[in-house]
Amino acid sequence: MDLIWYGIVQAVGLLLRADPDVMAIMWLSLKVSGIATLLSLLVGIPLGAAIGLTRFRGRGFVLSLVNTGMGLPPVVVGLFVSIFLWRSGPLGFLQLLYSPTAIVVAQFVLAFPVVTGLTAAAMQQIDPRLRLQLLGLGASRAQMLGQLLREARFAMLAAVMAAFGAVISEIGASMMVGGNILGYTRVLTTATVLETAKGNFDVAIALSLILLGITFVINWTLTALQQRGAAR
Amino acid sequence: MTAEMLAVEDVAVAYNGRLVLEVGRLAVHPREVFTLVGPNGAGKSTLLRILALLEAPARGRVAFAGTPVRYEPGALLPLRRRMASVFQAPLLCDTTVYGNVALGLRFRRLTPGEIERRVRPWLERLGIAHLAARPAKTLSGGEAQRTSLARAFVLEPDVLFLDEPFGALDVPTREALLVELESILRDSGVTTVFVTHDRGEALMLGDRVAVMLGGRVRQVDTPDRVFGNPATAEVARFVGADTIVPGVVRQSRDGVCRIAVASGEIQAYSEAAIGERVLVCLRPEDVVLSRSEGAPPMTSMRNTLLGKVRRILPLGVHVRVDVDAGFDLRAFISKASVDELGLVEGREVHASFKVTAAHVIRRHDAGTAETSP
């Protein structure tokens, strides 16, 4: 118990002092996972909407692929992204391995099936007759899609939370493609592992608490947004 | 030429290889309420979706305001924006009543000021102004359908499509809304395509009625003529002539034919020639039953047939009596009359009806699939 209590005090101290190392790690975590989530939304929402709203051959197969993708093990993604980004790999010329960009790429790969799958599910929940009604009121295809996303906005916010929650807390991929380089690719999760390995339990606890705090604040904000909308 | 607001020609629609709609030629005139009536599965809604440009026909041509419709990307949207649709389910979006009524105007990118200016009067007109700020999902069925109607009327469309708009409402709500809709349609003069399976609604709202059966349009005419002079036996049956009996014209004088049927003779107005085979149609509410003892009743009813009560079936306000008069003859009479006449199954009765009540379908019409307007 003492250890946890000490960790909490440490964490508060680190935050209050705005410890530059911790701040840098926290900021990088937020930035990398934020960008990865944003990119996954840009790709996942249209893709998920397309899968959810249209009928095509092999749709069930594609949905199964996406649903499998929602549970991709981060280490597997880390491994394959590493292979692609290695100097001798197909994308080696980009020289991205062990950079924050590489982590963004890996986390994007993890997050976009989550967004795609949840968007597809959300779109399938909507009464199919509503699409005809919207077209019957003079909506263009894009306007119809926009309105359907609005109808599913609570489910969409859940998708954002799930995607961000998955990537900010994953470690396998960040470690493998980022390399945990201090001041460059060290994020909250990789730093926590390192400090634990070094026996610096207090710092590790402090970092975990910060990670928990971040995820809580972000989910709290999104949930508040969601519930305010639902109450209307 | 734009004398026709909408026209279809040789249109066919098939789902999974099954033909669900086949229409030779059909036109909707400006400012009329054109009603598509028929039983469930007759293809009414499919035809409405074709006319509303929400679905492309497998083959055939559709013209809007005299111009053939091209089913190409981008070509349909400007046409669809001159139309508006209301369906059986209100299909409201998850926002306020105001937000729902404003929806189509937002799609047309009107400014918030213009939207407000146009939405308010329609909220008033449909009696939902006090609900403007209410979330749509908290509305009752009637309020929701009023919102859906306001959402369509506010667009001031060239053509309004109403697909069974009262189908999901309870009877009092439905009747109240039907009366209001009738007055709004008359005031606005908007060209309307109205789909219903309810013959009463068709009679009340339609300037012209198209009877659809089995994916085809069987008759297009004024409600009076469709209901009074059904063109085929199927149409007659749909519009409520439960009794349809074949016969042969034996005599014709001053437009009144004496037609030999199974058990006797029926007099009816028709231009059919002597020797011609015809169908005689009767509505059950036009048939009067009386005791068979003694002479037939002295009434203005020149047709009286002797028959035997086969079945007595109470149907709420009236009682259905099936009489075997050599053919199946059906009558609707009051519960009091049943008691007064002492009707029981197996008893002999006289069934009487007026000359004007018997509608004659000439057999060469009876076989044709379609009548042109």
Q: Could you please report the per-residue DSSP string of A109-172?
A: HHHHHHHHHHHHHHHHHS-HHHHHHHHHTT--HHHHHHHHHHHTHHHHHHHHHHHHHHHHS--H
Tell me which chain B residue has its CA closest to the CA of residue A130. B91
ipTM value, please give it: 0.82
Give the pLDDT confidence of B267-289 residue by residue, as tens digits.
999 989 899 999 999 999 999 99
Show residues of chain A in contact with B87, CB under 8 Å.
Answer: 129, 132-133, 136
Q: Which of A5-19, A86-100, A128-142, B256-270 has the highest mean pLDDT?
A: A128-142
Reply yes or no on whether the pLDDT at B194 is more than 90. yes
Residue B318 has pLDDT above 50, yes or no: yes
Nearest chain B residue to A154 by CA distance is B94
How many beta-carbon pairs under 8 angstroms link A with B?
A: 56
pLDDT exceeds cutoff 70 at B369: no
CA-based nearest residue in chain A for residue B52:
A136
Given an 8 Å threshold on Cβ–Cβ distance, is A147 in contact with B93? Answer: yes
Residues of chain B in contact with residue A145, where contact means CB-CB under 8 angstroms, are: none
pLDDT of residue B17: 85
The pTM of the full predicted model, rounded to 2 decimals, is: 0.84
Q: What is the DSSP letter of B135?
A: B
> Is the Cβ pair A132, B49 closer than 8 Å?
yes
**Chain A contacts of B151, Cβ < 8 Å?**
137
Lowest mean pLDDT among A119-123, A205-209, B54-58: A205-209
Nearest neighbour of A137 by CB, restricted to B49, B89, B107: B107
Q: What is the average pLDDT score of chain B?
A: 90
Tokens in use for B54?
A: 């929400």
**Which residues from chain A sit within 8 angstroms of residue B152, using beta carbons?**
137
Question: Above 50 in pLDDT, residue A7?
Answer: yes
Which chain A residues touch B155 with a CB distance below 8 Å? 137-138
Cα separation, A131 vs A134, whole angstroms: 5
CB contact under 8 Å between B84 and A139, yes or no, is no
% chain B with pLDDT above 90 = 67
**Residue B98 near chain A (CB below 8 Å):** no
Chain A residues 142-181 within an 8 A CB cutoff of chain B: 143, 147, 150-151
Nearest to A52 by CA among A147, A164, A148: A148
Question: Which of B292-302 are b and which e, b meaning 16 or more Cβ less than 10 Å from the residue's Cβ?
Answer: beeeeeeeebe
CA distances from A185 to A11, A30, A42, A103 (A): 21, 12, 24, 8
Mean pLDDT, chain A, integer: 90
Residue B372 has pLDDT above 70, yes or no: no
B152: alpha, beta or left? (left if phi > 0; alpha if psi -120 to 50): alpha
Q: Are A138 and B108 a contacting pair at CB < 8 A?
A: yes
B94 to A151: CB separation less than 8 angstroms, yes or no: yes
Band of pLDDT at residue B295, cut at 50, 70 and 90: low
A122 min Cα distance to partner chain B (Å): 14
- DSSP secondary structure letters along B247-287: EEEEEEETTEEEEEETTEEEEEE--PPTT-EEEEEE-GGG-
CA distance A8 to chain B (A): 44
What mean pLDDT comes out for the span A15-22? 84
Contact of B155 with chain A, judged by CB distance below 8 Å, is answered with: yes
Is A138 close to B91, i.e. CB distance below 8 A?
A: no
According to DSSP, residue A176 is labeled I
pLDDT tens-digit readout, A213-227 = 989 998 898 888 877
CA distance B198 to chain A (A): 22
Of B49, B93, B155, the CB nearest to A138: B155
Please name which of B371, B359, B175, B151 lies closest in space to residue B272, comparing C-alpha atoms. B359
Distance from CA of A63 to the nearest CA of B (A): 24
Digit-coded pLDDT (tens) for A82-138: 999 988 888 888 888 999 999 999 999 999 999 999 999 999 999 999 999 999 999
| Smallest CA–CA distance from A146 into chain B, residue | B107
Checking if the pLDDT of B97 tops 70, the result is yes
Residues of chain B with C-beta less than 8 angstroms from the C-beta of A147 = 93, 103
**In chain B, what residues touch A151 (CB-CB under 8 Å)?**
93-94
Most A-contacting residue of B94, B158, B192 (CB-CB within 10 A), to test interface: B94
Closest Cβ opposite residue A138 in set B80, B87, B96: B80
Residues in A closer than 8 angstroms to B84, CB to CB, are 136-138
Q: Closest approach of chain A CAs to the CA of B151, in angstroms? A: 8
Q: Sheet holding B191-196: strands in order across? A: B83-86, B159-163, B191-196, B33-37, B208-213, B216-221
